Amino acid sequence: MEINKIDENSYDMACEKAWCPGCGHFTAQKLLRQALAELKIPNEQLVFVSGIGQAAKLPQYTKGHMFNGLHGRALPAAMAIKACNPKLTVIVNSGDGCSYGEGGNHFLAQIARNVNITQMVHNNMIYGLTKGQASPTSLKGMKTPVQVSGVTNEPFNPLAVAIAMGATFIARIFAGNKTQAREIIKQAIQHKGYALVDTLVQCVSMNKLNTFKWYKENTYELDESHDIHDQKAAFAKALETGKYPTGIFYKVEDRPTFSEASVAYKTDKSPLYTRNLDMNKLEKLIISKRKR
């Protein structure tokens, strides 16, 4: 059994990462690996899924199985992997554009279905791979090479949307706050159901507004007085913009997951990939569909 060890300097040196020096993805990757090591999850039981973007390269630098798909299409692949083998730990890593822009509809679907996966959204409030145009979370008024007069859209609020839809684990972390971030990542992975971890990271090349210093000065930790089971309180915290709260906003522990609610697992608990395919039933199904 091999796990993602905390001290992997030799492994880091072997991976030529296509990230800029000082990029927040380095820290996010290290925090994820530390969390996995502390949870002692074997590499062979891990599947990392991503779309397109700088954050989506993380699985290439992390030990475990990997699926890299189209821009915004990481979640359907992750859902299929988890449905076929619920015993796997499935973790999605992609950016705010891939997750909330191109993948916005899939984001809503995962919440509604409560698929038992963890989604870490590397939110740097910019499209870092495609040269710095505004992303769904870019702040209003921010000037970019495309939005030369400033962003006019209201920024997308993923936490408020997720809370309103009843997602079962919703958190925000700042990669620079390592102790809190690592513990929340661990709790998200251990959670039974869909877990969103909106991960604030700096883009040193394309976003000169939301820097590491900016995130540090404009975030604060939720304290113990916040009730993570109070949906209204969580929603109010998600709407705060003066300083952005970090921590676990909302958590539901008794909602069935997609696999638990699926007809495929009602009478047979064995993973789908181990079952024999009944070709006669499949042929009848195809014929009935054609007749319609």
Kindly state the average pLDDT of the residues 58-76. Answer: 89
The long-range contacts involving 61-67, CB below 8 angstroms and separated by at least 24 positions, are 61/12, 61/15, 61/17, 61/29, 62/4, 62/29, 62/32, 62/33, 63/2, 63/4, 63/11, 64/4
pLDDT confidence tier of residue 281, bands split at 50, 70 and 90? confident
- Name the superfamily (CATH) of residues 17-291: Thiamin diphosphate (ThDP)-binding fold, Pyr/PP domains (3.40.50.970)
The structure's pTM equals: 0.90
Average pLDDT over the chain, rounded to whole?
90
Question: What are the phi and psi torsion angles at 265 (to 5°)?
Answer: -110, 10
The vertex-220 CA angle with 218 and 223, nearest 5°, equals 165
Tell which wins on pLDDT, 289 or 82.
82
**What are the domain boundaries of the chain?**
17-291
Instruction: Please list, in sequence order, all residues whose beta carbon lies within 8 angstroms of the beta carbon of residue 213, skipping any fewer than 6 positions away.
Output: none
Average pLDDT rounded to a whole number, residues 144-173: 95
CA atoms of 190 and 94, how far apart (whole Å): 20
pLDDT category of residue 275 using cuts at 50, 70 and 90 = confident
Confidence of residue 279 (pLDDT cuts 50, 70, 90): confident
Among residues 105, 84, 107, which one has the least CA distance to residue 67?
Answer: 84
Q: pLDDT tens digits, residue range 209-239?
A: 999 999 999 999 999 999 999 999 999 999 9
What does the pLDDT read at residue 11?
47
Distance CA 99, CA 103 (A): 5
Kindly provide the residue ranges of all beta strands, DSSP E only, lying in 12-157, ordered along the sequence.
46-50, 65-68, 89-95, 118-123
Token pair of 178 as six digits: 């390592």
pLDDT average, residue stretch 133-154 = 92
